[in-house]
Amino acid sequence: MRNASGVKMNIQNNTNMNTDPSQTPGEMANDVKGEGLDYRSHIQNLSPNPGAKLLRYGKTKEGVISLAQGEGDAPTPEFIRSAAIQALQEGKTFYGMPLGLMELREELTQYYKRIYEIDLPVNRAYVTSSGSKAMNLALQSLIEKGDEVVAVTPIWKNLLNCLEVVEANIIESPMDFIDGKWSLDLDKLFASCTDKTRAILITTPSNPTGWVMEKDQMQAVLDYARKHGIWLISDEVYGRLTYDRLHAPSFLEISDPHDRLYTVNNFSKAWAMTGWRLGWLVGPQGSEGIIQDVANYDYMCPPSFSQYGAMAALQEGEPFLQELLTLWQGNMDFMFDAFATNDRIIAKKPDAAFYAFLRVEGETDSVAFARRLIDDYAISLAPGSSFGRVGEGFMRFCFATSRPKLEEAIGRFMKAVDAL
């Protein structure tokens, strides 16, 4: 059987899909989480992640092009792999320190000096087993049950679920979407805060919008946080994925060592290391002991040999990153040239990252649209409702892929839009 795009589809996986076609057959037994078992109620009742479910569903369908996940299709470059392989061959496979190898922590401080012109002491830089783990360590060190965390949305759904896991009271502070561009109204952000607000969570550059927070807004937010004793958690994992400058602004450039500030980062995006699960956290002066304790009891230490690959990425990775940015810039230009041929597509080029966060006029249910794109056009995108309430009606389209794959995906997507 062929779908509307002419791609042969395997319909066997649609059988016994119950009433929710985004479920795979292997998930059917787990439809009711923890049924009959006495798990913690708030873990059983975590809000669903429709984007993750649809991503899995798309992967069960033959011939589907998936641009729903935040990664490209380039493998980790050879010089990074070789460094890790050499570490393996040398037997560097033992337990390490909870906050990472001292050599890698020192390399991070050199990286900040070289790229950001920041003098960061090594006792503020902590290696973690993924950027997600860096976020979790920050939250676990700060959040008591019921603490309010104001999250600027749209935002990656996993971060909202991380807040649920630590039993925070989540306050979404939505950005404005005006004339195709996203912007942050600081008055609205500050109005979302109360005397119960423990932290403000900001992703800059933004996943999924590609919006970049400039230093004047950062300074205003930092001043407000200082005045009210609020922590700032800045997810800066896309900080090097900018097209008009060396890096996006970082809160670290304007903060003092004792500010209540965590910045989260990872090796995944800039150096094609998504599967390596390595990241880092920068905390304020005096945070080393508490983060070490949380890390020690959470996962003991980051994997040892892979950290040598991370050191190679920091030391030698600039040419590779520039190659990626050149590819992505060309992909973005191609994509938006195609979008411009249909007035129903509402989107403008992002300032950073590798996503188009777009809206198609008339499509208000992003999950239903994403499901239809998989079933009828063999293309998998992330539904905007996965990024907070303000994201409903939007779709996230990752363009960090090869040009032939992108061209085919764009062709299928444009057929879907033209058919509306």
Residues with pLDDT less than 70, the chain? 1-35
What pLDDT does residue 33 have?
A: 62
pLDDT for the residue numbered 16: 35
What pLDDT was estimated at residue 420?
Answer: 87
All domains in the chain, ordered by first residue: 12-75+319-418 (3.90.1150.10), 92-316 (3.40.640.10)
Is this model's pTM higher than 0.85 or not? Answer: yes
How high is the pLDDT of residue 34? 62
- The predicted pLDDT at position 35 comes to 67
pLDDT at 38: 85
SS (H, E, C) the chain: CECCCCCECCCHHHCCCCCCCCCCHHHHHHCCCCCCCCCCHHHHCCCCCHHHHHHHHHHCCCCCEECCCCCCCCCCCHHHHHHHHHHHHCCCCCCCCCCCCHHHHHHHHHHHHHHHCCCCCHHHEEEECCHHHHHHHHHHHHCCCCCEEEEEECCCHHHHHHHHHCCCEEEEEECEEECCEEECCHHHHHHCCCCCEEEEEEECCCCCCCCCCCHHHHHHHHHHHHHHCCEEEEECCCCCCECCCCCCCCHHHCCCCCCCEEEEEECCCCCCCHHHCCEEEECCCCCHHHHHHHHHHHCCCCCCCHHHHHHHHHHHCHHHHHHHHHHHHHHHHHHHHHHCCCCCEECCCCCECCEEEEEECCCCCHHHHHHHHHHHHCEECEEHHHHCHHHCCEEEEECCCCHHHHHHHHHHHHHHHHCC
The pLDDT tens digits for 262-274 are 999 999 999 999 9
**pLDDT number for residue 11:** 34
